[in-house]
Structure 1
Amino acid sequence: MSQSYKNKYAVILGGSAGLGLATAKKLAHEGMNIIIIHRSRRSVVAAFEDAVREMEVSSCEIISYNTDALNPKKRQETVDDILAKLGKGVIKLIVHSIARGNLKPLYDTEGGNTLSNEDFKGTLDAMAVSYYDWVSAFAKAELFTPSARAIAFTSEGSSRAWPQYAAVAAAKAALESISRGIALEFAPLGITSNCIQAGVTDTESLRLIPGSDKMKEMAVKRNPYQRLTLPNDVANAVYLLTRDEASWINGTTIPVDGGEHIR
C-alpha cells in the first residue's frame, strides 16, 4: 500500500458500473479506501454487492450509499454521514462518473418527441453541475485532504456532434468548463481538477446511445491500436493522477483513448 493512501478515501460518484466501478476496483487494489455513491435498481444490486465483496479482499474499507446523488437533501445527508463516520481531511479523491442524460433528437421530421428545455436542464444538472455540487459540499465540510484530486469523466462528444446526443454533448462541454473553474478557484485548498476524455468504451451507458454500434465500429477504425478503450484503461489513468508526482497537473482534459482522438 502506498503511504500516500494510508487512511485516505476515494469517493466515486456513479460507481456501480462501467468506468466508475472499474476505477473503484483499481484504487481498492492499490490500497485506497473507497466510498461509492450510486443509484442502483434492485435488479442490479446483487451484482454490485458481488463487486464490492471482491474489492474487500484488498483489505481496504468499502462504504456504499445507494442514494440519489442529484438530490440536495440526500447529498447533504451523505456528506454529514461521511463526516460523522470518518472525520475531516480524509477524502483524497472524488471521481464524477454520473451518466444520466436525455437522448432525444433536436428535430424530428415526423414530429416525434424532441429535446425539451427541461431535458437539457436535467442532463446538465446530472452530468455537469453535480460535479461542482459535490466538490463544494466536501470542501465546506473540510473533508478533503491537502493536495486532493477531483476528476470528471468527459467524452469526445463535448466537441463533436452525434444524432440524439445534443443534451449530453452540452453537459460534457459544461463539465469541462466547470472543471477548469474548480481548478482555478479551489486551488487555495490544494485541490486539483481535471477531466479524463475516455475513448469509446463498451459500457451500458454507451449502449443506450442510438447508433452506438456504428460509433464503436468507427472508433476501432480510428484507433491506432484498432480496439476500443477498456474501463481498466481509464481506471489506470485515474490512479496515475492520484500519485504525488501528478500534483502539478491541473485544469486540463486528458484523452485516454490510445490515440483515437488524433484521427
Structure 2
Amino acid sequence: MNPEQLVEHPSVLLDPFSVSGKRVLVIGGTRGIGRAIALRLAQAGAEVLVNYVRERAAADALLAEAASGGLNIQALRADVTSEKALDELTTGVNERFQDLSALVFAAATGIHRPLEQTSSKHFDFTFALNVKAFLALVKRFAPSMQPGSSIIALSSEGAERATPQYGLIGASKAALEALCRQLAVELSDQGIRVNVLAPGTVRTDAWKALPDAEHRLTAAAERSPIGRLVTLDEIACAAQFLVCDASSGMVGQTLVVDGGARILGSA
C-alpha cells in the first residue's frame, strides 16, 4: 500500500493479515474456487471485482449474495483470451479502481482425455486461457500496481504429477507455474509479489462433468492424511494470506493446500 492508502486503512499497520481496502480482481471469480476467494476477500473488507465469460446466472447469484451481506463485489464480463475483450476489461477495471492491490487468476479450462486423443485445437484452447491469458493480464495491470501488490495464479497437483486424463491441463498448469516464477523475479523491482496457490482435490461444480466424480472424490478423501477433502474456504483463506501484507516474504513460491495428500504421493 502507498502512504495515502495506509492513512485510509490504518488497520493494515496494526494487522498485516488485513485485506481491508485492498482492490482485488478475481479472474474466473463467479464459480468454484474463484467464487470462494472473492467472497472471503470481500468478507474481510476488500473491494472485489470478479470476471466471468458465459455464466451470467452464476454472476447474478454471487452479486445477490454479496448485496445481502453488504459486501463490495462487482462483476465484469470478458473473455480474457480475446484482445478486444481484454481492452474492455482493462477499461472497466480502471473505471472502478485507481490501481489493483491484487490480481487473482482462478480461470481454467481443458478437456479430460488421454493425450493421444487430444488435438492441436484442444492444445491451443487449453493454453490460450490457462497460460497465455494470465500473462496478458499481468502485462496489462502490473505496470500500475503499487509496491506491496500481489499476483496469485491457481494451479493444481497435475502440474507436478501425471494424472489420468489430465495431461493437457496438467501441462498448462506446469507452464503457468513456470511463468509465475519468472514473473516473480522480473516484477520484484516493482515490489510486486507473484505466487502460486495449488489446491488439492476439492468438491466444486466442475466435477459434475465427470462420470466417475463421486468415486474419485471419495478415493481422494480416503487417501488424505486428514481423512477428507480440503474445503473451498480453506483454499480461500490461503488466498487471503497471499493477498495480505503478512505474506510479504513469499515470492515465486507455490503454496499447496491439499490436506497433506502430496506428501504421501496421493494428491
TM bin, normalised by shorter chain, reads 0.7 to 0.9
Task: Provide, for residues 207-242 of structure 1, a one-character-per-residue CA deviation record: whole Å limited to 9, x for no partner.
Answer: 434643343223112211111111111000011122
1:84 to 1:66, Cα distance in 2 relative to 1, 3 A: closer
Q: In percent, how many aligned pairs have the same letter?
A: 29
Measured after TM superposition, the shift of residue 48 of structure 1 is: 3.1
Instruction: Give the structure-2-normalised TM-score.
Output: 0.87
Q: Which residue of 1 aligns with 2:125?
A: 122
Task: Provide, for residues 148-194 of structure 1, a one-character-per-residue CA deviation record: whole Å limited to 9, x for no partner.
Answer: 11111111111222232111011111111011011111111111111
Measured after TM superposition, the shift of residue 54 of structure 1 is: 2.3
Per the alignment, in what secondary structure is the counterpart of residue 147 of structure 1?
coil
CA distance in 1, matches of 2:136, 2:53: 17
Measured after TM superposition, the shift of residue 58 of structure 1 is: 5.1
Task: Provide, for residues 102-138 of structure 1, a one-character-per-residue CA deviation record: whole Å limited to 9, x for no partner.
Answer: 223223xxxxxx2012211211121122211111111
CA distance in 2, matches of 1:155, 1:209: 17
Task: Provide, for residues 64-96 of structure 1, a one-character-per-residue CA deviation record: whole Å limited to 9, x for no partner.
Answer: 112212111111221122223433xx3111111
The range that moved more, 24-33 or 4-13, is: 4-13
Q: Is this contact kept in 1: 2:59–2:75, CA < 8 A?
A: no
Letter in 2 for 1:12: V
The range that moved more, 230-239 or 121-130, is: 121-130
Per the alignment, in what secondary structure is the counterpart of residue 200 of structure 1?
coil
Q: Note the 1:1-263 alignment, pairs <5 A.
A: 2-3=11-12, 5-42=19-56, 45=57, 47-57=58-68, 59-87=70-98, 90-107=99-116, 114-140=117-143, 142=144, 144-209=145-210, 211-263=212-264
Q: Is this contact kept in 1: 2:47–2:73, CA < 8 A?
A: yes
Unaligned runs of 5+ in 2: 1-8, 13-17
The range that moved more, 17-26 or 207-216, is: 207-216
Q: Is this contact kept in 1: 2:28–2:34, CA < 8 A?
A: yes
Unaligned runs of 5+ in 1: 108-113
1:222 to 1:259, Cα distance in 2 relative to 1, 3 A: same
The range that moved more, 28-37 or 197-206, is: 197-206
Total equivalences in the alignment: 250
Q: Is this contact kept in 1: 2:123–2:168, CA < 8 A?
A: yes
